[in-house]
Structure 1
Amino acid sequence: MGLFDFIKNAGKKLGIGDDDAPDVEAVKKELDSHKIGTDKVDVAVEGDKVVLKGVVEDQSAFEKAVIAVGNTLGISKVEASELKVGNAATATSAPAKDPVLYTVKKGDNLWKIAETQYGAGKGAKNTVIFEANKPMLTHPDKIYPGQVLRIPELDKA
């Protein structure tokens, strides 16, 4: 996999003006503002698609990079097939695993999403979803329809 779909008219607006798609500099600045380890990531904007290339440290950084740029107003797709997980210094990188993503619907909250994704009676695991989406999420109640969240695997313990 490597192409992720987002809702073009939902998300954070970057810059000023009425342009639908943000420019490369604005997207890179937004990505870097989250401080998730994307300093070795190159960004390209092709219409309403963002292309990410380079290396991130781990699967979490990969997934956060995808949703950080995908949850931007004017972006409908994120291509990340050339975004690798590993160590750029030693050139040991590998393709990332396919993440589990969830698009927020009207009426959703993190408790409902946790029950949907993890099973009945697991709503209390909503904190796992919140933590997995920091720093893009700043408060558990501040989610919106169309926003895409990463859903991490639960620890087997």
Structure 2
Amino acid sequence: MAFWDFVKDAGKSVFGSEAEAAPAPQAAPAETAPSETDRKVAALKAELKNLGLTAKDVHLTLRGGDTIIISGKARDQETLEKLVVALGNIKGIARVEVADDTSTETPAPAGAKPVFHTVQKGETLSAIAKRYLGNANSYHQIFEANKPMLSDPDKIYPGQTLRIPQA
């Protein structure tokens, strides 16, 4: 199983507040109400759908409240890496694991390992591009590799994890 750690307190909030999650007094009996885990998995799936990263053969499991496990079959390695980054950059998620039985329809090149970078205070995409790609003007490659999670190359934040494209 491959795994990546993320900054749990950084990222987009999709789970809502505890007050929003609390059942109303007239709520259905507990046996029919979704569990907190089910509610969080549904919120994660909704976020992936909003980003256009859904796949019917990819399954999510939440363990311990802050670890998400991806299993099943993704379209390709790029999509799988985007799933890891999209899920890991959600506030409250500390770790994303890819189960050993996870595969892609298009196999990754032999020996290819995903490269991720956690943004530090004061960093820019240009600085990150210079570090990993050797040219600050290659920042657009990192921006494109992180779409649709990024909508503007100037809007990155400390604690955010970015996917670094490999040549």
Tell whether the structures are fold-level matches, with TM greater than 0.5.
yes
Flag as ranges the 4+ runs of structure 1 deviating above 6 A.
92-96
Q: Work out the CA distance in 2 between the residues paired with 1:104 and 1:128.
A: 16
Output aligned runs, 1:115-134, within 5 Å.
115-119=130-134, 122-134=135-147
1:136 alignment partner, SS class: coil
Number of residue pairs matched?
Answer: 147
1:83 to 98, 102, 115: 102
What is the CA-CA distance between 1:118 and the residue it aligns to?
Answer: 1.7
Distance verdict in 2 for CA 1:31–1:39, change over 3 Å: same
The answer for the alignment partner of 2:81 in structure 1 is: 63
CA RMSD of aligned residues (A): 2.4
2:161 to 142, 148, 155: 148
- The answer to whether the aligner puts 1:104 opposite 2:119 as a matched pair is yes
Unaligned runs of 5+ residues in structure 2 are: 22-36
| TM-score, scaled to structure 2 | 0.80
Distance verdict in 2 for CA 1:23–1:110, change over 3 Å: same
The answer for the alignment partner of 1:54 in structure 2 is: 72
2:59 to 27, 42, 53: 42
| TM-score, scaled to structure 1 | 0.84
Q: Work out the CA distance in 1 between the residues paired with 2:57 and 2:124.
A: 34
The answer for the alignment partner of 2:44 in structure 1 is: 27
Q: Work out the CA distance in 2 between the residues paired with 1:96 and 1:86.
A: 17
> CA offsets, 1:87-112, max 9 Å, x none?
6xxxx899994200000000011000
The answer for the alignment partner of 1:14 in structure 2 is: 14
Q: Work out the CA distance in 2 between the residues paired with 1:17 and 1:65.
A: 24
The answer for the alignment partner of 1:3 in structure 2 is: 3
Q: What is the identity, as a one-letter code, of the residue corresponding to 2:8?
A: K
Between structures 1 and 2, the one with greater helix share: 2
Percentage of identical aligned residues: 40
Unaligned runs of 5+ residues in structure 1 are: none
The answer for the alignment partner of 2:129 in structure 1 is: 114
